[in-house]
Structure 1
Amino acid sequence: MLDNLPRGTITIEEIEMGMVRHLRKTITDEDIEMFARVSTDRNPVHMDADYASETIFEGRIAHGMLTAGLISAVIGEQLPGHGTIYMGQSLTFLGPVRPGDTVLAEVEVIGIDHAKRRVRLETRCTVDGKKVLIGEATVLAPSGKFD
């Protein structure tokens, strides 16, 4: 399940401090398997229920970067959106995401440098109101001006 949210672009001229955009996605076994195929990360904590049950997580978990990818989706599709260039991202993982969990991925504008078209974004993911990932991104926002 993925929220059916508007996609497009918010240009540097339109971005305001405190703007927030989000998406919700339920992580499935298929998502984890596809991410493993694409990334080639087949760590058994993600893929093998028996193995994972003996870890500190006591069961399978999604790849952290799969969860972080939802932040990228919000940035690339909503805020700022199409034409955005990702420049950097810090990530701190606070808790596991399990198959069947619905992740709320949010970005919030916390800094704007209009002259350089750079935007700082607080990034976070939650499951059932509990933070599982926090960080900060810097992006180059598209402009509506054509020189």
Structure 2
Amino acid sequence: MTQASNIPYDELEVGQTATYTKTVEERDIQLFAALSGDHNPVHLDAEYAATTLFKERIAHGMFSGALISAAVACEMPGPGTIYIGQTMSFKAPVKLGDTLTVRLEILEKRPKFRVLIATRVFNQRDELVVDGEAEILAPRKKLTLDIPALPPISIG
């Protein structure tokens, strides 16, 4: 098991940053389609995708949103964080094989443990692919938790 720690509200500071990185793989697209029910052929069918303005398959937009969620939940503030809201603007397509880095930055600490965080996603060429902000309810207490391993997942 691995462990994850959080940063409680009192330890968060405006300007504080964190990152989370993941490479988009075929398995991710298949699992996201299965989980979400979004079977748009631009994500799953190379022949169809070749006829679109993207000319190749692209990842689901909300896949990037899921990576933002992972960054907030696992990096900053971390375990115990509750999402209140999220805005996202999609700036560029995400393609299979892209390595995405979520960059978080604390923009504002608000009353009642609420925090506004910049949520930006960049590809391996440092191109902004998603721009947004999240409002979260930060954890009140410092936590270090064991994160259980996930069972193997098969597509089918």
* TM-score of the alignment, normalized to the shorter chain, above 0.5: yes
The answer to whether residue 77 in structure 2 is matched with residue 85 in structure 1 is: no
| Counterpart residue number, 1:49 | 46
Question: How many residues get paired?
Answer: 139
Counterpart residue type for residue 132 of structure 2: G
Q: Take 1:91 and 1:67, find their aligned partners in 2: how far apart are those partners?
A: 9
Determine if the alignment matches structure 1 residue 96 to structure 2 residue 93: yes
How far apart are the structure 2 equivalents of 1:77 and 1:7?
7
- Equivalent residue in structure 2 for 1:32, among 26, 29, 34: 29
1:124 aligns with 2:120: yes
* Larger RCO, structure (CA 8 Å, separation 6 or more): 2
Aligned-residue offset at 1:111: 0.2
| Distance in 2, Cα, partners of 1:21 & 1:69 | 16
Partner in structure 1 of residue 154 of structure 2: none
Amino acid at match of 1:33: Q
The alignment yields a C-alpha RMSD, in angstroms, of: 1.2
Give, in whole Å, the separation in 2 of the partners of 1:144 and 1:69: 25
1:111 aligns with 2:120: no
AA aligned opposite 1:74: A
SS of alignment partner, residue 13 of structure 1: helix
Q: TM-score, normalised by structure 2?
A: 0.86
What TM-score does the superposition give when structure 1 sets the normalisation length? 0.92
For structure 2, the residue ranges without an aligned partner over 5 or more in a row are 143-156
The question of whether the paired residues in 1 share the 8 Å contact of 2:20 and 2:75 is answered with no
Runs of 4+ in 1 over 6 A off after TM superposition: none
Give the % identical residues.
43
State the partner residue of 1:12: 9
Residues in 2 aligned to 1:76 and 1:85: alpha-carbon distance in whole angstroms: 8
